[in-house]
């Protein structure tokens, strides 16, 4: 994302953060001011931190000239940021949302739930070593169901469970009572699965059962389940295969397709190359050009095509071919490329952690974290005030149209306190009105959710202050993000958009600086390229005809890449392989096939505005930025502290 890149103007590569960096706070010396912008100080510790971070080569980058050059840039940066703040650009909803998302990611490694997350990752890895085969019976229930509907579904699950314990076959019960539509066909059998392939409560129940056991009713977001484990086996890892597919359906003669796939199988057995037949016959457009190769997958990785998965896992040796077989998509031949064993925990952990934090199991660590933070920061509820506040919930919340009742608008009674600081009922009411979103939840349940979010929002500033005290780099990084977003926003508004959209300004700048835009021999050209040369003859004829619409149709139909512009001979190696004259020329370079349409050969001299425009826009941006900065420095007074300047020079040049 461009904004992220600009955000790091003075940040360089974001340093990797971890709990291991935490250290005890030490007594701080009085900060040394390097310069002020509109009377606001910028201190030496911030400047030296950023300089060291972005200049790892101490031999070359720590001269007085380099440091002073960076100081000048940093002053300009702070002046622009100050202007953005004056305009209130850090108060917009878009800014707050983006900055908060950065902040949330940044603080994760420092929060006390990191160990719990790690334990969930470890648990998930251990479970993934084994596959469970289970059946279930579902009593459907929405997440926001009423208490009466919830009890009714639970009682029905208990009733069915008792029938099974009394002798009713589980499969028969599933076909009779389950509200999972597939139960009529599979009698509740879900096949084999492993960790992260079922919702977390269901997965946990299954892994805690022994083979042949049935669970108590298990609540998930789908309703109440009865789970019965019918088999357990070691996980087979992943398999990587290639396939040739001939489609059926859409009026095709299935018998003819079948005969063709068996003919291809015979040709493979006779020694015809797999890649040749795949490219010529396979009707899977996403894989035919790379030998039919598919990404590795594990159990249920092809859950929508179980026949394909079964055949793929049945192959034993790399290069082994399956017999032709049919799925709902057509006829296939599969070739085994490799079998991949389970990764070690160290190898699997990063990807698993990413999945765990997005999965509903992460709610376990979130709930534990909130409980821990409430205890740590002395969170105390006023039970009576909370009950009164919760009574204000009504159905208008579902449409995000809720308004604070007149009786609560000025209610100053304490709702809860954090480290002794009281938060009033009226403040929570205002938070709800501002942050509500349309939803389908029970109003009181949604109100409770907003209450928990509000409590978290009141605690988190204390958490962040403690993190910043123990980890100075955290505070610096937060400031970098904050000011970097502001820099991007104001530069886009004041410089980049103006320079790129102001055609008249660009033209005027070009006319005043024509002598700066010169070039040697070059050509105005369009290049069309593809992975095979079959397009070159027919497309060449169309290009020579000069009809731009027909050319574009051919390019789109054949999915060719295009590149146009002005080029010197050394800019494109392909130009060395063709005459330096107007025309349309075919050529090949490093396995890529080209048609080069050389429209015009240009002699050395001043470039036209059209040709020079990319460079003109860049120079015009620099011109506008300098002009704007001169205006800003009259508005925001900059004062450099010479003692502070000497201090940073000494700090950065110290051995």
Which structural domain, as residue segments, surrounds residue 203?
130-234
Query: Comparing 249-258, 270-279, 354-363, which segment has the lowest mean pLDDT?
Result: 354-363
Question: Nearest 10 degrees: CA dihedral of 382, 384, 386, 388?
Answer: -150
265 shares a domain with 300: yes
Please report the pLDDT score of residue 20 as a whole number.
Answer: 33
pLDDT at 223 over 50: yes
Whether residue 283 lies inside any domain: the answer is yes
Burial class, 42, CB count within 10 angstroms (exposed 0-12 / middle 13-18 / buried 19+) = buried
219 shares a domain with 286: no
At 113, the pLDDT band (50, 70, 90 cuts) reads low
Is the CB of residue 449 less than 8 Å from the CB of residue 433?
A: no
Whole-number Å distance between alpha carbons of 16 and 34: 28
At 74, the pLDDT band (50, 70, 90 cuts) reads very high
**603, 624, 649 - which closes a domain:** 603
322 shares a domain with 297: yes
Mean per-residue pLDDT over the chain, rounded: 89
Whether residue 653 lies inside any domain: the answer is no
Instruction: Report, as an integer, the average pLDDT of 21-40.
Output: 72
Residues in the chain: 655
312 shares a domain with 224: no
Cα-based distances in Å from 213 to 135, 166, 202, 207: 11, 14, 14, 11
Pinpoint the alpha helices (H) of 598-655: 609-635, 642-653
221 shares a domain with 258: no
At 18, the pLDDT band (50, 70, 90 cuts) reads very low
Whether residue 598 lies inside any domain: the answer is yes
Please report the pLDDT score of residue 28 as a whole number.
Answer: 55
Please report the pLDDT score of residue 9 as a whole number.
Answer: 40
249 shares a domain with 227: no
252 shares a domain with 201: no
**234, 255, 279 - which closes a domain:** 234
Is the CB of residue 11 less than 8 Å from the CB of residue 102?
A: no
**447, 466, 485 - which closes a domain:** 466
273 shares a domain with 213: no
381 shares a domain with 310: no
How many independent structural domains does the chain possess? 4
Instruction: Report, as an integer, the average pLDDT of 253-275.
Output: 93
pLDDT at 229 over 60: yes
Is the CB of residue 18 less than 8 Å from the CB of residue 30?
A: no
Whether residue 37 lies inside any domain: the answer is no
Whether residue 159 lies inside any domain: the answer is yes
Whether residue 263 lies inside any domain: the answer is yes
134 shares a domain with 230: yes
pLDDT at 467 over 90: no
CATH number at residue 325: 3.10.50.40
331 shares a domain with 247: yes
Whether residue 50 lies inside any domain: the answer is no
Whether residue 335 lies inside any domain: the answer is yes
568 shares a domain with 528: yes
Whole-number Å distance between alpha carbons of 260 and 390: 69
Whole-number Å distance between alpha carbons of 286 and 121: 33
């Amino acid at each position: 994302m461009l904004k992220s890149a600009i955000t790091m103007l003075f940040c360089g590569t974001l340093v990797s953060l971890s709990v291991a960096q935490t250290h005890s706070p030490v007594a701080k010396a009085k900060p040394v001011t390097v310069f002020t912008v509109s009377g606001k100080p910028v201190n030496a510790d911030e400047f030296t931190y950023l300089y060291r971070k972005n200049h790892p080569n101490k031999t070359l980058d720590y001269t007085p000239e380099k440091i002073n050059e960076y100081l000048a840039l940093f002053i300009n940066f702070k002046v622009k940021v100050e202007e953005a703040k004056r305009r209130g650009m850090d108060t917009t909803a878009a800014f707050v949302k983006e900055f908060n998302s950065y902040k949330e990611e940044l603080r994760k490694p420092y929060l006390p739930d990191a160990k719990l997350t790690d334990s969930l990752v470890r648990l998930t890895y251990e479970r993934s070593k084994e596959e469970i085969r289970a059946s279930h019976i579902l009593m459907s229930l929405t997440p926001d169901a009423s208490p009466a509907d919830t009890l009714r579904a639970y009682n029905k699950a208990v009733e069915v469970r008792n029938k099974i314990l009394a002798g009713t076959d589980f499969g028969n019960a599933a076909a009779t009572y389950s509200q999972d539509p597939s139960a009529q066909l599979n009698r509740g059998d879900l096949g084999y699965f492993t960790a992260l392939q079922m919702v977390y409560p269901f997965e946990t129940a299954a892994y805690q059962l022994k083979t042949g056991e049935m669970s108590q009713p298990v609540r998930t977001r789908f309703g109440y389940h009865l789970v019965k484990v019918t088999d357990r086996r070691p996980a087979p890892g992943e398999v990587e295969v290639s396939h040739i597919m001939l489609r059926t359906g859409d009026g095709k003669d299935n018998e003819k397709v079948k005969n063709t796939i068996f003919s291809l199988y015979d040709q493979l057995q006779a020694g015809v190359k797999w890649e040749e037949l795949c490219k010529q016959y396979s009707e899977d457009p996403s894989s035919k050009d790379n030998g039919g190769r598919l990404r590795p997958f594990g159990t249920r990785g092809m859950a929508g095509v179980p026949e394909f998965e079964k055949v793929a896992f049945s192959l034993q040796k790399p290069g082994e071919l399956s017999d032709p077989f049919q799925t709902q998509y057509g006829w296939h031949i599969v070739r085994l490329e490799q079998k991949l064993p389970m990764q070690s925990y160290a190898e699997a952990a990063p990807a698993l952690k990413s999945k765990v934090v997005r999965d509903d199991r992460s709610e376990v660590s979130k709930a534990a974290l909130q409980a821990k933070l409430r205890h740590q920061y002395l969170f105390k509820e006023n039970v009576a005030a909370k009950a009164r506040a919760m009574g204000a919930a009504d159905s208008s919340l579902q449409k995000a149209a809720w308004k604070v009742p007149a009786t609560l608008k000025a209610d100053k009674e304490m709702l809860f306190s954090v480290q002794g600081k009281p938060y009033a009922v009226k403040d929570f009411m205002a938070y709800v009105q501002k942050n509500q979103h349309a939803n389908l939840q029970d109003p009181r349940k949604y109100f409770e959710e907003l209450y928990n979010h509000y409590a978290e929002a009141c605690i988190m500033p204390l958490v962040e202050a403690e993190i910043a005290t123990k980890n100075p780099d955290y505070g610096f990084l937060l400031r970098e993000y904050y000011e970097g977003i502001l820099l991007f926003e104001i530069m886009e508004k004041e410089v980049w958009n103006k320079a790129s959209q102001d055609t008249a300004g660009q033209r005027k700048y070009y006319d005043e600086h024509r002598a700066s835009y010169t070039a040697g021999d070059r050509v105005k050209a369009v290049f069309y390229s593809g992975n095979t040369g079959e397009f070159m003859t027919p497309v060449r004829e169309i290009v020579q005809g000069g009809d731009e619409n027909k050319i574009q149709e051919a390019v789109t139909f054949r999915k060719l890449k295009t590149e146009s512009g002005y080029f010197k001979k050394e800019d494109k190696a392909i130009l060395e392989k063709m005459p330096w004259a107007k025309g349309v020329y075919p050529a090949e370079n490093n396995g890529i096939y080209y048609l080069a349409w050389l429209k015009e050969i240009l002699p050395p001299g001043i470039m036209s505005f059209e040709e020079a425009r990319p460079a003109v826009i860049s120079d015009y941006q620099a011109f506008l930025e300098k002009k704007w900065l001169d205006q800003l420095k009259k508005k925001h007074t900059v004062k450099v502290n010479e003692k502070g300047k000497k201090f940073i020079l000494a700090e950065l040049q110290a051995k």
